[in-house]
Chains A and B, each alone.
Chain A
Amino acid sequence: MMKKVLGRHEKHGAPDVSTSVLDAATTSAAGAAGAAIVVDHLRVVRGTRVVLPDMNLQIPAGQVVGLLGPSGGGKSTLMRAIVGVQVVESGTVTVLGEPAGSPALRRRVGYLTQAPSVYADLSVRANVAYFGRVVGVGADAVDRAIADVDLTDHADALVGNLSGGQWSRGNLACTLVGQPEVLVLDEPTVGLDPVLRRDLWEIFRRLAREGRTVLVSSHVMDEATRCDRLLLLRGGQILSDSTLPDLLARTGASDAEGAFLALIGQAAARDAASGVSGSDGQEGAA
């Protein structure tokens, strides 16, 4: 299975460090058949900076996958590439069997931007209703999305008058309303209190139980425990792609944060040993 999945990569000559070497045992769980998102040799350059040098990745369907790592590591860029709004230099991103961003996907993929992108001068209900009409769902879906994020009591308040946490929940409701099969959520829980964060993670878990694929980015490491799989991104490279128990076993750490710090330390040491700094170092080492 592994051979089949990675066969295309091999003809490029270089072994696939990002997934096969680090996590050979666990990667096969995300075989092509069950993958909702397949990233193949994705390279993204923003301005003069190489944000993603050469990314290969498979995200299994029906799971909550956490995209974790330090800021500036390429999390948002990867998400933008998956929803098809990022100019990519080379490589492909395939979502549900279609090229990322293709018209057929726009109803099936929901995107939550990092900054709350809703209309501050409209009520919560008006915002959700508008995004609902754009994807073609009715009033009951609007009510449900608002109830899901626990904003029913504030549905008629202007978004601009809400607190930061309510604002970002309103933002999330606009993504949930279309009931997309794949949800790409860029830091949906940032700045929220612990109770709300727990509630939102329960929603993500429920969405996955319904068979939806949920990709959630965060830089809060303790949220790792709520994910089925974890992706650790640093300097545009995937340091780890596995489940939390596998990650803990491999690093010998007691929690996600310790494991990530250990991996980041190893990566920095590899960079130093190969004599180059930053993300290019890993390419050199490979």
Chain B
Amino acid sequence: MNPRITLATAGRILQQLKGDRRTVALLLVVPCVLMGLLAWVFADSPMPVFDRIGASLLGAFPFVIMFIVTSIATLRERTSGTLERLLTTPLGKADFMLGYALAFGVVAILQALVASVFAVWVCGLDVAGPVWMLVVIALADALLGTALGLLASGFARTEFQAVQFMPAFVLPQFLLCGLLVERDQMPAVLSTVSDFLPLSYAVDAMQKVTTAVDPAIWGDIGVIALWVVGAVLLGSLTLRRRTP
């Protein structure tokens, strides 16, 4: 690993994104539109449902979006031959993985800032804790999506497969993370399974921020961070310099 090469790689990925204005617009606008739609759906509801679900969704968006973006981008590097070429240069596998994590981390911070600000000040999301914590959790979640996307792309041979990994990797977590039904109200087996899934901790942390003035989120962030590290390590095993 070499910081110069890692930064060069992150810079190159951001440069690619910068040239793709439509993708940047989609990355920033889509979460806001969805958030607004969700607030509208529950506008006439007597219960404060949006306050509960809105924050959780704020944690799930960056995860889902970064998962898809990363797995497609990495697969593109594999199929276009740029990855094989890079692996004949001094670039280390960690440079590649961290380059992606850094570049998409920057995007995730922007996305989380825009979506959080929109949710709180436009949609009226009621947050008891500090708003900056929403951004921190969203960032951790985005990195989780990036790391799992890198891992998943190692198992995909085509874009079609890569896109199918989204429902395979993401939707089960989405169903079990406590967004639809509180985790302690699920059947015991599912509740236990959800204890092992990272998105559950992101949603837990988001819910703590909405309900507590001084929320204890760092344990949840720690679990997510462990998953990120594990996925990046596993993912770098799928990057092979020598291929058949």
Contact = CB atoms under 8 A, between A and B. Distances in A.
Interface of A: 46-47, 83-88, 101, 103, 106-107, 109, 111, 113, 115-122, 126, 130-131, 133-136, 158, 174, 178
Interface string B212-244: 000000000000000000000000000001111
Contacts of B86: 134
Nearest to A113: B81
B90 A106 contact: yes
Given A86-B242, A87-B244, A117 B80 contact: yes
Given A85-B242, A87-B242, A117-B80, A134 B88 contact: no
Given A106-B90, A107-B90, A121 B19 contact: yes
Interface stretch (B4-12, B53-61, B64-72, B161-169): B4-12
Contact of A122 (B15, B81, B91): B15
Interface residues of B, number: 25
A contact patch SS = loop
Nearest to B83: A117
A87 B81 CA distance: 16
Interface of B: 4-5, 8-9, 11-12, 15-16, 19-20, 80-82, 84-91, 241-244
Nearest to B242: A87
A84 B240 CA distance: 11
Contact of A135 (B11, B80, B89): B89
Contacts of B243: 85-87
A83 B88 contact: yes
Contact of B90 (A83, A87, A101, A136): A136
**Which 4 A-B pairs give the minimum distances between C-beta atoms?**
A117-B81, A133-B8, A130-B12, A111-B88
20 contacts: A84-B88, A85-B88, A85-B243, A86-B242, A106-B90, A113-B84, A115-B81, A117-B81, A117-B85, A118-B82, A121-B19, A121-B20, A122-B12, A130-B9, A130-B12, A133-B5, A134-B90, A134-B91, A136-B90, A158-B19
Contact of B242 (A84, A126, A133): A84
B235 to A, nearest CB: 19
Nearest to B12: A130
Contacts of B19: 121-122, 158
A88 B242 CA distance: 9
A109 B91 CA distance: 13
Contact of A126 (B15, B20, B82, B91): B15
A101 B85 contact: no
Given A106-B90, A118-B82, A133-B5, 18 more contacts: A84-B242, A85-B84, A85-B242, A86-B242, A101-B241, A103-B90, A106-B89, A111-B85, A113-B85, A117-B85, A120-B80, A122-B15, A126-B15, A130-B8, A133-B4, A134-B86, A134-B90, A134-B91
A23 to B, nearest CB: 30
Contacts of B242: 84-88, 101
B125 to A, nearest CB: 36
Contacts of A130: 8-9, 11-12
Contacts of B85: 111, 113, 117, 131, 174
Contacts of A88: 242
Nearest to B89: A134
A133 B12 CA distance: 10
B82 A134 contact: no
A85 B82 contact: no
Contacts of A116: 81
Contacts of A119: 12, 16, 80, 82
Contacts of B90: 103, 106-107, 134-136
B14 to A, nearest CB: 11
A107 B20 CA distance: 31
A111 B8 CA distance: 20
A46 B243 CA distance: 10
Nearest to B244: A87
A204 to B, nearest CB: 19
A46 B242 CA distance: 12
A111 B90 CA distance: 12
Nearest to A117: B81
B203 to A, nearest CB: 34
A117 B79 CA distance: 9
A158 B90 CA distance: 25
